[in-house]
Every structure is written in structure tokens, then in C-alpha cells.
Chains A and B, each alone.
Chain A
Amino acid sequence: MKGTNFVDLRDAGDPVELGALYAQQGADELVFLDITATVDDRKTLVNLVREVARHVNIPFTVGGGISSIADVSALLNAGADKVSINSSAVRRPELVDELALAFGSQCIIVAIDTRFEPAAGLDFVHTHGGRRITELKTLEWAREVENRGAGELLLTSMDADGTKAGFACDLTARISSAASIPIIASGGAGTMEHFTEVFTAGKADAGLAASIFHFKEIEILALKNYLATQGIPMRI
């Protein structure tokens, strides 16, 4: 039986303490995004990653400000299991090929921030926290980064993000059906039912949430127990 769900540490307090706590509570993976926002320089960042990795016994992904082989090398050597790249891949798509070749697809996650563009009737990739539209169509970009060697996709719907009204299940299902790599759905989680929806209707391989865990609106173990009763395979 296969199943996974994620936690991320965006906006977190002490990342080391929280990471260890979430791991203990039953999180299946930790994703630490926007990490550069919390530290001043790469060296501090690498030390922080090392401290988190020392304290957690589950897979640990780091994202934010990664744009070169040297960046990834430093993070993996510090104990990150995977890295997540976003705008640097939009700027220079060849980076995905280079990183997959150097480190293997299994540790390269491409994060895609997407928003529906009503005028065009299509979803487009956005950067700068969803504020800036690119000319990349989300579905085509997902296929392209898969072909370039991405191992997983972290799909964040900027329309759903922060609404607590549920994941963007239609979009997630379309991307998941088109891709042959796992999709981590992010953005919009507000209730336990939302996770059931994203794993069924949304065809997501994993669900990511941040604020509902940080603010203890939903406890990880309670969520996993609930999902198990809904027939979603869970590690408990």
C-alpha cells in the first residue's frame, strides 16, 4: 500500500525543532521552502539544513534560491535528500537536465506555481509568489520538466493557496494524468476532507500543507488516521 503526505516549514519558527516535531508526529516528508527568506547567506543556510537533517528521520527536501550544481551539491552534502527548484528552472530550463544528470532525477523536484488566466482560459506558470505571469502553459511546462529529468512535481495553485477552500483538484488531476512522475499537490488545504479530495478526485500522489499544521488547526496524526478510514493508504 502506497501513500504519502507532506509538511512544509514555510513561515515556521525554529526549523530544527519543528522538523523534529513533525517527523515525530507522523509527517511522511518535510519540505523546507523559501529557506533563503530566513537566513542571510548560503553558509548559514547549509548549516541550518545540516541541523534539520541531523534531527529528522524522514525524507527532507529543501527549496529556495537554488540555481546551480554547486548549490545542490552543498545542500545534499549537508543532508538534504532532495531539492526543489522553481524560478531558476523557468529562467533557464536546461538547469533541470543538468541537475538530473549530476544528481539523479530522484532528488530533483520542480516546483510549479500556477494560476488560471481567465482571458486565455488556460493555466499559466507564475513566478514571484504568483504575482508575475510567464508565457509557459502549466500543462506543457509540467511535461517539459518531466522530459528534462524532474523526479517529482510540486504543484501549487496560486488560486487556491491561502483560501483554505480546498486543493485545485481539477487542475491537479489534469497534470497528474498527463505526467508519469509523482505530483505533490499544494495550496488550499483547510479541512481533512480536502486531503481526501486531492488524493481521489485530484489524483495527487502527495499533499502538502503548511499553515494548518503550523497553527495546529489539523494535527498530522489525526489527519492520517482520518484518511486511513477514507480508504487512502497511509503510514501510521
Chain B
Amino acid sequence: MEIAIIKYNAGNVASVMYALDRIGQNYQLTDDHEQIKKADKVIFPGVGEASTAMAYLKKKGLDTLIKGLKQPVLATCIGMQLLCKHSEEGNVDCIGVFDVEVKKFISKDLKIPHVGWNSIVKRGENPLMNGLKEEEFVYFVHSFYAPVNKFTTAVCEYEQPFSAMLQKDNFYAAQFHAEISGKAGEQILKNFLAL
């Protein structure tokens, strides 16, 4: 199985690569269009700022490439937000797989960013949570969130409920960092690779 990790300017991906190493999976870190298109699975990770990341993806033509992918795609953290329609972070139009508006957390009582372990609850069909409990702890770091919507497959709560996971067709997305979310995160990665 060929796995492509999309290489772009949003943060480092060492943790993602090591997580795949730990479950014995080969991968290529690449921004080459042909290589990404022919991969069996595509991972779109990232830590960064939405408008800066989008500008880079557009420059490289990766935004339209990603939107047109037919194989299973897993987007995490900023990757998930970039698959939405628009983000309040830098007020930028994003890739638009999910017709969802990414918003900034605003809270008088809770600390922002939302950092740390928080529990997610499965909502409807969610093959990535196969073998997991209905409620599992995973690791989050983010200041922006996708509200709960018709694509939501797992919900987390921080001030208000928000989308921990989204799915539409071949696109799977997680707001949390599966790669450093312990056993639960490993299971989610394995489930994605088994799709």
C-alpha cells in the first residue's frame, strides 16, 4: 500500500511519520501531484495558520488536487479546517470539501487555545472509531473549530459542542492529533489505513 503525506508549509510532520513507523507502515512525504494522485491513501496533516497555508497550497496547485482526490484522505488539525469552506483564521476561503464555516473559540471562562486531552463521542457511522469506546480521550491543540454539522462523525465539547471528526465520501477529517493520541490515536490511524 502506498501512502502519501502531503508536504506543505504547515508545521512539521515528524510526529505523523513516527506514528506510521510505529504501526509498521511505509509512506512518502511529497508535494508531487502524480505521486499524491496514485497513492492508495493520502494524509493531509498540519499545524499552522489557515490563510498562510491556503496561499501556499494554491501556489502549488494542491488545493484543487486535494479536492479532486478519489482515494481515502485523512486530514488532521489544520488539515481538517482547510478542507472546510471558509475559516475565520485570516478570513480565508478554503478547499471546500465540507460546506462548513471554521470559527474562532470565544470564551469568558475557558482558556483558549483548547490544549490537552479531551473526550470525543462517536456520532452515527464512523469507521475510524471501530474498536474504540463510544467515548475516547484524544489530544487537541487549536483555537478555531468546525461547529457540529451534517458531516460530523464525532463530537467534542469545549464551551460548546464542536466537530472532532468529519466525513464526506472519501474524505475523513479529525480536529485532534491522532498521531500523539496514545492507543486510541493509533487505532484511528490503523482504521483509516484499513479502509
Question: A residues touching B (Cβ–Cβ < 8 Å)?
Answer: 1-4, 23, 28, 50, 53-55, 57-60, 76-79, 81, 103-107, 151-152, 179-182, 205-206, 235
Contacts and interface: CB of A to CB of B under 8 A. Distances in A.
A179 B115 CA distance: 14
Contact of A1 (B47, B49, B118, B142): B118
Interface string B1-23: 00000000001101100110110
B111 A54 contact: no
B137 interface: yes
B15 A81 contact: yes
Given A58-B139, A77-B12, 4 more contacts: A50-B14, A53-B18, A57-B19, A76-B12
Interface residues of B, number: 32
A154 to B, nearest CB: 13
B117 interface: yes
Given A57-B180, A59-B139, A104-B47, A235 B113 contact: no
Contacts of A59: 139, 177, 180
B181 interface: yes
19 contacts: A2-B119, A2-B158, A3-B117, A53-B14, A57-B186, A58-B180, A58-B181, A59-B177, A59-B180, A76-B11, A103-B11, A105-B113, A106-B142, A151-B115, A152-B115, A179-B111, A181-B111, A182-B111, A205-B115
B55 interface: no
A182 B180 contact: no
A152 B146 CA distance: 23
B48 interface: yes
